[in-house]
Amino acid sequence: MHSRPLIVLLSILLLTPVLSGCLSDGVLDDIIPQKKGIPGGLTMACLTNSYTELIIEIDFESGYKPETSSTDLLKQRISEVCSFSQGISTEFTETNFADVGTWSADDVREQGWDNKKADPTVGKTLRWQLIFPAESYEDDSVLGVAVDASTIAIFGESVDGAAGFLNRPSAEDVENSVMVHEVGHLLGLVNLVYTSPVNHESTDKPGHSDNDDSVMYWAIESMNVGSFISGDLPNDFDQDDKDDLAGMADGTIEVTNQI
């Protein structure tokens, strides 16, 4: 009658060498994985009144702090689709990320979570994190990536290199658009955690708009952004994007994979 408790005790003893000493966050993550989610996994946390404030944590390596115009625009765009009674704020921290060379999505996820100041949801506070490493992504045509429900990376050196001919668009214009684009993915655009009633997703680039007047257009997060020879990059969601967000907010569009 005591065989089951004995088995449990033996299992604990066998695990003891692995867990001895101070328990690191990494070890605990292996045993009790944190819910990091997918891009769009915290969409409803933003679109509904579940949280009273949004803190945008910006961790950047020396020389890669984003422009004020970029962070101001980002807060404006979020406030146009999400309502937080205590507002949206930014926290800036100069950060020395691990030297990983060219970054993979796993590197972004690992470095992001190693440097987060707090969990994405604490009480009535929602937190999204933007990291700005010095190095580039493993696909050097990529300017930014969203890797889970709360973590984005934007590669400043690549953004600088994406400026167009005669500085049109400028690196600042590119950064403005890329930041809004990646946060658009945290909001679930396009079709990441829902299915739009309107066919506006690119057939060649899933998760992106087929409209080059939308900030969710696929080229915005790639070096192709410099091909906008007019120099006028989209930095706002188009009407289809906004309708999708409104439909998710009011419940007329079903949303999945929320954490």
pLDDT in tens, the chain (259 residues): 444 443 333 343 333 333 333 422 333 344 344 579 999 999 999 999 899 999 999 999 999 999 999 999 999 999 999 999 999 999 999 999 998 889 999 999 999 999 999 999 999 999 999 999 999 999 989 999 999 999 999 998 899 888 877 777 889 999 999 999 999 999 999 999 999 999 999 999 999 999 999 999 998 988 777 555 455 889 999 999 999 999 999 999 999 999 9
CA distance 92 to 206: 32
CA distance 64 to 155: 9
- Per-residue confidence (pLDDT) for residue 145, from 0 to 100: 96
Q: What is the CATH number of the domain that holds 183?
A: 3.40.390.10
What's the farthest any 2 CA atoms get from each other in the chain?
Answer: 81
pTM of the shown model: 0.85
Residue 26 resides in a domain: no
Residue 178 resides in a domain: yes
- Per-residue confidence (pLDDT) for residue 77, from 0 to 100: 98
CA distance 11 to 8: 5
Structure tokens at 167: 């500085």
Residue 98 resides in a domain: yes
- Per-residue confidence (pLDDT) for residue 244, from 0 to 100: 98
Residue 83 resides in a domain: yes
- What DSSP letter does each residue of 55-119 carry, written as one string? EEEEEE-TT-PPPHHHHHHHHHHHHHH---TT-EEEEEEE------SSBPHHHHHHHHHHH-SS-
Question: What φ, ψ does residue 39 adopt, rounded to 5°?
Answer: -55, 125
CA distance 161 to 143: 9
Residue 28 resides in a domain: no
Strands, DSSP E only, in the chain? Answer: 53-60, 88-94, 121-122, 125-132, 144-146, 151-154
Burial of 257 by CB count in 10 Å (0-12 exposed, 13-18 middle, 19+ buried)? middle
- Per-residue confidence (pLDDT) for residue 41, from 0 to 100: 97
Residue 199 resides in a domain: yes
Residue 223 resides in a domain: yes
Distances (CA, A) of 19 to 14, 98, 243: 10, 25, 50
Residue 166 resides in a domain: yes
Task: Count the domains in the chain.
Answer: 1
- Per-residue confidence (pLDDT) for residue 227, from 0 to 100: 59
Q: Which domain holds residue 88?
A: 37-250
What are the residues facing 58 on neighbouring strands? 92, 130
